[in-house]
Structure 1
Amino acid sequence: MTHLLDNIIWHALSGTQRRYSVGTDRARRYSPGFSPIAGFIDPSQPDFNALRSYCEPGEHFYCDGWSGPAPPSWQIEAETTMFRMVWEGALPADDDFPQAIPLESEHALQALELATLTRPGPFGPRTIELGDYFGIFDNGHLVAMAGERMAAQTLREVSGVCTHPDYQGRGWARRLMLKLIRRQLQRGETPFLHVMSENHGAHRLYQRMGFRDYKESVVRVVAPD
């Protein structure tokens, strides 16, 4: 699986999740409405010309694995680094977490609102269609969630982990993650995730849970001029 993790975005968009993406044999993106992420067959030399016709004005895309100046007719709006982490822990103990309920299409707006507030990573109104998502509700309001985004063969990403600021400190995000990880391992999948390098608290938590650093890479937000 090593080569898949080296360019996981491309392997997800061109392989297992191809039906959720658009693009060419050199550059692809999640279809509009899903997470605004783009991948390239060669991330060190991304072919933005191949992606351009699949972009709408005002769209912004996350991509990783390349550095240097912006390509012609594109601009770099943000740049940082992130860790890609892969699970090496044991099967989590059984914890059904009965308060957590599966998120369905009727919860999409609430999921987007929570993600917009807490900023767990690129998220769109259809992102919860990419895998299993579970949430915690209080008086009908979604206050915590976690789910699955990228998939490439047996690799499965844990993503969208977030808790409303008024409900933090209760361990809900961790329990939601463990629920997903247990289900993934039981399906024969290998969990992985992404965390921004400056998010030291989350990084340490994921290490204690059983994830290890696979690589640290540049991540950028880009947009067509």
Structure 2
Amino acid sequence: MTHVLDRPAWNALASVHASLAEGSPLARRYPPSIVPFAAAADDTPESLEALASLASGPEVLALVEARPIIVPPELETVLEASLVQMIAKNPFERLDDARIELLGENDAEDMLALATLTKPGPFTLRAQQLGKFWGIRMHGRLVAMAGQRMRQPGFAELSGLCTHPDFQGQGLGKIMLRFVAGEISASGDTVYLHSYSSNVGAIALYRAIGFTVRSDMHFRLVRRAGQP
């Protein structure tokens, strides 16, 4: 039996994030201005053709699945990687830290700048449409942040975790991780996250604070074949 998190994008777009979904019952995607995640309903030729039709021009679709990903012939792979999906073993306690503030629309450009610098994963100016984000500012600069991305009934993905290189080594990433995990747990959802399998340091940190590997995951960035 498959788990709802085996197909996180499809199950988010078919439930909690259905209001954001573009596409049809055969394939869905988030608006590209928010995040590039997409998924076909299944591996039938009709669903794969519908998935391919969601990509236009040079834009990419991000696919993440527990099972091997079948790419329709109309699309080509730009990036392929192995991920691990980790889930909280127990609910996290809420963390009280006066430095942490809820981020809003006025912070969007600073958030994008920090994400562009540190590359925590796909991030856009409209990322806050997916869920709340929090951050730490020092001397007026946004130096650390984390928030929520895909959501399914009973689950919320912790994402966008990053720390400015000038402020790394001060434990800010761990603080943001624990804080956002606590906020998700307080809402009644179970926290999960994704990490590149090669990022052994991050995986060790996640294990140390209460996450366990739930599944290996496949990840691909794809686009229309023949794009420059």
Shared fold (TM-score, shorter chain, > 0.5): yes
Q: Identify the residue that residue 10 of structure 2 maps to in structure 1.
A: 10
1:61 & 1:214 partners in 2: Cα distance? Answer: 24
Counterpart mapping for 1:133-148 below 5 A: 133-148=133-148
Query: C-alpha separation between the residues in 2 aligned to 1:216 and 1:44?
Result: 23
Match of 2:92 in 1: 91
Q: Tell whether 2:124 aligns with 1:124.
A: yes
Whether the 8 Å contact between 2:17 and 2:151 is mirrored in structure 1 is yes
Are the equivalent residues in 2 in contact too, given 1:157–1:191 (CA < 8 A)? Answer: yes
Q: How many residues align?
A: 224
Matches within 5 A, 1:59-208: 59-65=59-65, 67=68, 70-92=71-93, 94-208=94-208
1:109-152 deviations in Å (ceiling 9; x for gaps):
11111111111111111112211100111232211100000110
Give the 3 Å change call, closer, same or farther, for CA 88–43 of structure 1 in structure 2. Answer: farther
Which moved further from structure 2: 17-26 or 45-54?
Answer: 45-54
Query: Structure 2: which amino acid aligns with 1:122?
Result: P
Q: How does 1:31-70 map to 2 (within 5 A)?
A: 31-42=31-42, 47-65=47-65, 67=68, 70=71
One-letter amino acid of the counterpart of residue 47, structure 1:
S
Q: Please, which runs of 5 or more residues in structure 2 have no aligned partner?
A: none
CA-based RMSD: 2.1
The C-alpha deviation readout for 1:53-96, integer Å capped at 9, x for no partner, is 4333121121123547742221101111000111003533x531
Distance 1:140 1:46, change over 3 A: farther
Question: What TM-score do the two structures reach when normalised by structure 1?
Answer: 0.92
Amino acid at match of 2:193: L
Match of 1:73, as an amino acid?
E
Q: In 2 relative to 1, CA 108–44 (structure 1 residues): closer, same or farther, beyond 3 Å?
A: farther
SS in 1 for 2:15: helix
* Helix, strand or coil at the partner of 1:212: strand
Distance 1:152 1:140, change over 3 A: same
Shift of the 50–69 alpha-carbon distance from structure 1 to 2, 3 Å rule, reads closer
Structure 1: distance between partners of 2:128 and 2:42 = 28
> Hey, what's the Cα distance between the residues in 1 that align with 2:44 and 2:161?
28
Task: Report the Cα distance in structure 1 between the residues aligned to 2:20 and 2:176, rounded to whole angstroms.
Answer: 25
**1-side partners of 2:110 and 2:144: how far apart?**
10
Kept in 1, the 8 Å contact 2:91–2:190? The answer is no
Q: For residues 186 and 201 of structure 2, what CA distance do their matches in structure 1 show? A: 28
* Partner Cα distance (2:122, 2:36) in 1: 6
Alpha-carbon distance in structure 1 between the residues aligned to 2:203 and 2:46? 28
Alpha-carbon distance between aligned partners in 2 of 1:39 and 1:59, rounded to the nearest angstrom: 15
